[in-house]
Amino acid sequence: MLTDIEIAQNAKLKNIKEVAGKIGLSEENIELYGNHMAKFTDEYINSVADKPDGKLILVTAINPTPAGEGKTTVTIGLGDALAKLGKKSIVALREPSLGPCFGVKGGAAGGGYSQVVPMEKLNLHFTGDFHAITSANNLLCAVLDNHLLQGNTLGIDPNRIVIKRCLDMNDRALRNIVIGMGKRMDGVVREDHFVITVATEVMAILCLSTDIFDLKKRLGNMIVAYTYANEPVKAEALGCVGAMTALLKDAIRPNIIQSLEGNPAIVHGGPFANIAHGCNSVRATRLALKSADYVVTEAGFGADLGAEKFLDIKCRLAGLKPDACVLVATVRALKYNGGVKKADLNEENLTALSEGIVNLGKHIENIKKFGLPVVVTLNRFVSDTDKEIEFVREFCESKGAMLTVSEVWAKGGEGGIPLAEAVLKVLETEKSNYAPIYDAELPIKEKMLILSKEIYGADDVIYSKEAENAIAKIEDMGYGNLPICVAKTQYSLSDDPTLLGRPEGFKMNIREAYVSAGAGFVVLISGSIMTMPGLPKSPAAERIDIDDDGNITGLF
């Protein structure tokens, strides 16, 4: 059996100019990055601004497990299936981060015969967007530390600096560091920190900005530190926002590549959903909606993270109105939620399935709370039995959701036709009544309580003293009416990764809070979630190589 990278390397890719032509683009509408990747030009983006929107379909999933769910795979396969049915469709995805590529999770190009390509370039450096974001963020940090050394006329308290340096890599040793060691001109000695690039506010800002001017304004509004008088210092006060914007001039333009079946895919931006807002860029989604009749997009991890943030943050801020939602699950993952060990997931176990399927049930309920029609799809494995699939079908019907079986990993778009037909039927027969789950004007704690009870299923929320003080300061500064972005584990509806299925009787624990004033949301950190992940004992980096013919191997 071929690996994902072998399938991708054996594919005959079309010239990106031909792929772009499927949605009416000419060579003048794109800037080429070789034969198979391109960026949209600003002129084209502006030219389609007044076109009517296509249908927006969100793909999300149950809580991820070691058994795998295949959300990106289904997203790409659904796009290809719609194309096979003669629909003008496009997928809109996030860009992969190098951290998980070399860690545990791997890349984010899909899998099997449902991938976007060129797979290796996408998963590694792509068009350089993440490098630009890293550079812009670290430029701001460098200018801030230079300001401290050169007299600190803004009165910044070195112990109240909140901007952190970043790196697009899992490197736990950089979480807490001391900088400025050495001679006087080497800088002011202070404690500093690194986060992974996808957790930075610069990434969030790029993904939520409508254009380069909005980007510049948002960058300037970033709170980077507080003075000795406890007043916020914004990035604009340091005088480098213009330079940061210049670094991001090309990165803000969405990228276009193709699926294995030669259909267009817009890939842009990539905040994690467990530590950031988990969606591709507003520009990418809006551009897709103007370029196709059906847009299939995804949000990171389970519906309690990516979908919630897509619906409560991105859609609210960007004025997007999704038309339907696809919820991805696997029989294996549901049995895992029912207590089956990973090694035993290939065996039929209806008892465990009945115990673990409550996770799927909660996610169906949650999506319906946002007013969206929902279609459930099982990403099929060869070990799935007819009895198990029928059990899931009956369960979904009892929840008012249609079930389809997806075989896009093995069959590409052909394996997604039942799903595509179900989605088209839902779009024709059910109306979306999308609305966010909470009113943004409510106090921060009230919003968190609503989210915790309605989406996570918690009884209450507990705050550390540090979080209490931070929330009070955020509201005092006038940012209490922003949406909230909860950083929590992806493995459970709760903030405890060991609580599988549908936990009840638990409390959410908020240990830290801060405002991303430029992005436009308040971040609440729950549990032990880390904004700079670490590598596992045996990272994927140990298995990635280049063979004698110059081909990359081991990337997945």
List active site positions.
71, 73, 94, 105, 273, 301, 381, 409
Strands (E), 395-534: 402-406, 460-463, 484-487, 507-516, 521-526
Which two tokens mark 395? 């369960």
Helix (H, G, I), strand (E, B) or coil at 92: strand
Question: What is the rounded distance in angstroms from the CA atom of residue 460 to the CA atom of residue 438?
Answer: 16
Terminal CA-CA length for the chain: 14
Question: What is the rounded distance in angstroms from the CA atom of residue 3 to the CA atom of residue 554?
Answer: 9
Beta bridge partners of 91: 265, 296
Rg (CA), the chain: 23
Place of tokens 């897709």: 288
Question: What is the rounded distance in angstroms from the CA atom of residue 396 to the CA atom of residue 418?
Answer: 16
Check: CB of residue 279 under 8 Å from CB of residue 300.
yes
Q: Is the dihedral of CA 418, 419, 421, 422 positive or negative?
A: positive
Check: CB of residue 211 under 8 Å from CB of residue 275.
no
Question: What is the rounded distance in angstroms from the CA atom of residue 462 to the CA atom of residue 137?
Answer: 32
Q: Around Cβ 121, how many Cβ atoms within 10 Å? A: 17
DSSP per-residue string spanning 411-430: HGGGGGHHHHHHHHHHHHH-
Question: What is the rounded distance in angstroms from the CA atom of residue 346 to the CA atom of residue 340?
Answer: 10
The b-or-e profile of 350-363 (16+ CB within 10 A means b, else e) is eebbebbbbbbbbb
Q: Cα dist. 342→337, 354, 392, 510 in Å?
A: 10, 17, 20, 31
Check: CB of residue 90 under 8 Å from CB of residue 267.
no
Check: CB of residue 498 under 8 Å from CB of residue 337.
no
Helix (H, G, I), strand (E, B) or coil at 14: coil
CA 149 remoteness from chain centre:
37
Check: CB of residue 389 under 8 Å from CB of residue 331.
yes
Question: What is the rounded distance in angstroms from the CA atom of residue 171 to the CA atom of residue 174?
Answer: 6
Q: Around Cβ 35, how many Cβ atoms within 10 Å? A: 12
Check: CB of residue 529 under 8 Å from CB of residue 275.
yes
